[in-house]
């Protein structure tokens, strides 16, 4: 009989809205946060390039089950475009491929924006995580292969010119859906304006349902991280002792249920909660209880209990949460 491996880390759950600094990759950020929280598991909702800064929602523990809902959320980016050169990566990291002495005026830029608003066709950058015949586009591009990435449909709700610091620079803000490449926006606008362009600064400031007020910096986390116990103190690995030691850090976490803001939410009684934990359906009571819903979640004592669907007034669980 094989022994079950003991999980490493604490069974801590919730969302950490990390203000990722430039130079740090998304995978590196998740590993750092997982280590700082001594968490059993962690994952992120939407990659952010190393050269970009800003919001990287990181799920710990049971919150990893809600990652798809945050990945589908609307995103807001503030980005700077440098006119006059196009680069292989469409940002500062790549080599210059073509240049121009032309510089667009404010009227030309503003007139172009409606073309990039609504549902549009967009070709992702060659240096992206898009898969071509099972291989990542950036791996093929780095290997010197010429690749053709097909255009795909993305949705842009809002694109605004925020500031023009000088003739060669423009700052924009874009509100967009899943799968939109801001680097492609800079590239395509530069081509349309006849001056070429690339991203020189990119910051994600919102991933619905989270916003800038939820940001937590690396400096804040490191300052709150509990010191390593001395030899005299010893290491008490009990859950209660760990929870006490990490209480300041855990205060940065947002409840898992916050990720499901877009779903109907229903509170259930202790008896109903017990039935749901066993995987059984329950009848929802109350004047405001929905009768039908393709997807909904229920809470018990304010905590997320399960995601499921509602049919003829019955909630039927599909995914049950333990924390």
Q: Is 157 a catalytic residue?
A: no
Instruction: Please give the Cα distance from 137 to 142 (Å, whole number).
Output: 9
With b for 16 or more beta-carbon neighbours within 10 A and e for fewer, the 189-225 pattern comes to bbeebebbbbbbbbbbbbbbbbeeebebebeebeebb
CB 131 within 8 A of CB 41: no
Q: What is the largest CA-CA distance in the chain?
A: 74
Out of 49, 90, 188, 250, which one is annotated catalytic? 49
Kindly report the backbone phi and psi dihedral angles of residue 256, in degrees, each rounded to the nearest multiple of 5, phi listed first: -55, -40
Which residues fall within 8 angstroms of residue 148, CB to CB, at 6 or more apart? none
Long-range pairs of 135-141 with CB within 8 A, sequence gap ≥ 24: 141/88
Catalytic sites, residue numbers: 49
């Amino acid at each position: 009989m094989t022994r079950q491996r003991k999980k490493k880390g604490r069974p801590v759950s919730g969302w950490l809205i990390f203000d990722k600094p430039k130079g740090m990759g998304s995978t590196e950020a998740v590993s750092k946060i997982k280590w700082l929280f001594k968490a059993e598991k962690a994952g992120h909702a939407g990659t952010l390039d190393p050269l970009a800064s800003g919001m990287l929602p990181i799920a710990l523990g049971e919150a990893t089950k809600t990652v798809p809902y945050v990945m589908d959320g609307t995103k807001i980016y503030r980005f700077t475009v440098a006119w006059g050169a196009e680069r292989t990566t469409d940002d500062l990291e790549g080599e210059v491929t073509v240049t121009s002495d032309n510089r667009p005026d404010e009227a030309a830029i503003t007139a172009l924006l409606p073309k990039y608003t609504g549902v549009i066709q967009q070709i992702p950058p060659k240096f992206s995580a898009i898969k071509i015949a099972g291989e990542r586009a950036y791996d093929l591009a780095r290997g010197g292969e010429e690749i053709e990435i097909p255009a795909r449909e993305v949705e842009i709700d809002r694109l605004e010119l925020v500031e023009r610091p000088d003739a060669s620079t423009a700052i924009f803000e874009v509100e967009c859906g899943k799968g939109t490449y801001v680097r492609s926006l800079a590239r395509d606008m530069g081509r349309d304006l006849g001056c070429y362009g690339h991203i020189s600064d990119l910051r994600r400031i919102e991933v619905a349902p989270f916003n800038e007020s939820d940001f937590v910096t690396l400096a804040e986390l490191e300052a709150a991280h509990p010191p390593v116990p001395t030899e005299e103190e010893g290491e008490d690995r009990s859950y209660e002792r760990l929870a006490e030691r990490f209480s300041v850090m855990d205060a940065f976490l947002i409840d898992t249920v916050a990720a499901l803001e877009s779903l109907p939410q229903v509170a259930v009684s202790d008896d109903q909660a017990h039935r749901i934990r066993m995987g059984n359906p329950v009848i929802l009571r109350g004047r405001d209880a929905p009768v039908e819903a393709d997807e909904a979640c229920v809470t018990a004592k304010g905590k997320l209990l399960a995601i499921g669907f509602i049919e003829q007034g019955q909630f039927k669980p599909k995914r049950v949460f333990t924390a």
